[in-house]
Structure 1
Amino acid sequence: MKLYYSPGACSLSPHIALLEAGLPYDLVKVDLRAKKLESGEDYLKINPKGQVPALALDTGELVTEGPVIVQKIADQAKDKNLAPARDTAERYKLQEWLNFVTAELHKNFSPLFSPVLPDDTKAFFKDRLLAKFKYIDSQLAGRDYLMGQQFTVADGYLFVMLAWADRLNIDLSGLQNLMAYKARVAARPKVREALTKEGLLKAA
């Protein structure tokens, strides 16, 4: 498999999932502005959406959209319990979390990366994000992870959003459950490995 990624982008989520799953893969870096690979190849010929992540399977199929990719990865390593079994109530709960992260967090972050939006508009989106993070904080009471005591692919995705909050100076320090959760996920060896491989964390 090949994971098309950009350092620190939402592709970090499936990168974490691949490492947690113990699946073999190759990393292919994408310049999102130029839509080029390091080889100079046109990324749009591989993924016409021009976005990351994209996962090229050994069959030649290309899977896009982060929440779909991480479930595909989890289903290829069932023994790792990165996602509940298909067609169970717990699997739909996982999908609920993945959808919440992608729709309520990820998409509200997008305007904050725009160089042309005025500060008051960005403040609006930061306030909206803070409200969403407060909800998650309330749901993490008494839990190690979003689904309870078991780390799943939804946790890798939420962790990326928390890293973005740091990058954009969104103060979440008052959300104690969320801060403890973030530290717990950050300490996982495979999470640290993904960060190191993407040049986001210095190798020990």
Structure 2
Amino acid sequence: MKLYFAPGACSLSPHIVLREAGLEHTLEKVDLRSKQTATGVDFRTINPKGYVPTLQLNDGSILTEGPVIVQYLADLVPEKHLVPKAGSMERYRVMETLNYIGTELHKGFSPLFNPATSDAGKEVAINALLPRISLIAKQLGNSDYIAGSQFTVADAYLFVVLSWSAHVKLSLADWPTIQAYLARVAERPAVHAAMVAEGLIKE
């Protein structure tokens, strides 16, 4: 499999899951501004949506949308317990969290990365994110991971999105449990390896 990614973008989530799952894969970096891959291919010929993550399967077919990709990858290695069993309420809870991260957190950060967003617009975006982060903190509680004691694909996605706070001047000081959670996830070998591979941290 090949993962098309942009360093530190939401594609870091399936990158982490690939490594947690122990699945063989290659990586190809995408310049999201020029829409060119590292090998000089027009990325839109691979994924007409023009954004990452994009996963090329071994049969050459393409799968897009991060929350779908991570569930697909987790289902390839059920013994890793990266997602609960299909049909179980625990599975639906993870799916529920993935959807919340995608629609309420991920998209909530988007204006903060847009250079066209005014300072007032950024303030509005941050104020909208704060109660959503509070809700996540409440859901996390004293658990090691968002679904309890087991690391799941929802943690890979949540870790990536909440880590963006450091780049957009959104303080997480009011949520020590979230700060501890991010530090805990960052220490996982697969997470560390993915971040090193993307050039986000040093070995």
Which TM-score band applies after superposition, normalised by the shorter structure? Answer: over 0.9
Residue 46 of structure 1 and its aligned partner are, at CA, apart by 0.5
**In the aligned structure 1, how far is the partner of 2:30 from the partner of 2:77?**
26
Aligned partner of residue 7 in structure 1, secondary structure: coil
**Aligned 8 A contact 1:130 1:172 in 2:** no
Corresponding residue for 2:34? 34
Aligned partner of residue 55 in structure 1, secondary structure: strand
Letter in 2 for 1:94: V
The percent of aligned pairs where both chains have the same amino acid is: 51
**Aligned 8 A contact 1:5 1:52 in 2:** yes
Corresponding residue for 1:116? 116
**Aligned 8 A contact 1:94 1:147 in 2:** yes
**In the aligned structure 2, how far is the partner of 1:112 from the partner of 1:180?**
24
Corresponding residue for 2:25? 25
Residue 142 of structure 1 and its aligned partner are, at CA, apart by 2.3
Letter in 2 for 1:200: L
TM-score (ref. length: structure 2): 0.98
**In the aligned structure 2, how far is the partner of 1:139 from the partner of 1:110?**
23
**In the aligned structure 1, how far is the partner of 2:130 from the partner of 2:193?**
28
Corresponding residue for 1:72? 72
Corresponding residue for 2:48? 48
Q: How does 1:189-204 map to 2 (within 5 A)?
A: 189-203=189-203
Equivalenced residues, count: 203
Q: How does 1:54-203 map to 2 (within 5 A)?
A: 54-203=54-203
Stretches of structure 2 that go unaligned for 5 or more consecutive residues are none
CA-atom RMSD in angstroms:
0.7
What whole-Å deviation, never above 9, does each CA across 1:120-155 have from its counterpart, x for those lacking one? 111011111111111111111121101100000100
**In the aligned structure 1, how far is the partner of 2:138 from the partner of 2:39?**
46
Stretches of structure 1 that go unaligned for 5 or more consecutive residues are none
Letter in 1 for 2:161: M
Residue 59 of structure 1 and its aligned partner are, at CA, apart by 1.5
**In the aligned structure 1, how far is the partner of 2:139 from the partner of 2:46?**
39
What whole-Å deviation, never above 9, does each CA across 1:60-107 have from its counterpart, x for those lacking one? 211000000000000011111000011111110000000000000001
**Aligned 8 A contact 1:138 1:177 in 2:** no
**In the aligned structure 1, how far is the partner of 2:155 from the partner of 2:145?**
7
Aligned partner of residue 151 in structure 2, secondary structure: coil
Letter in 2 for 1:96: E
**In the aligned structure 1, how far is the partner of 2:80 from the partner of 2:37?**
31
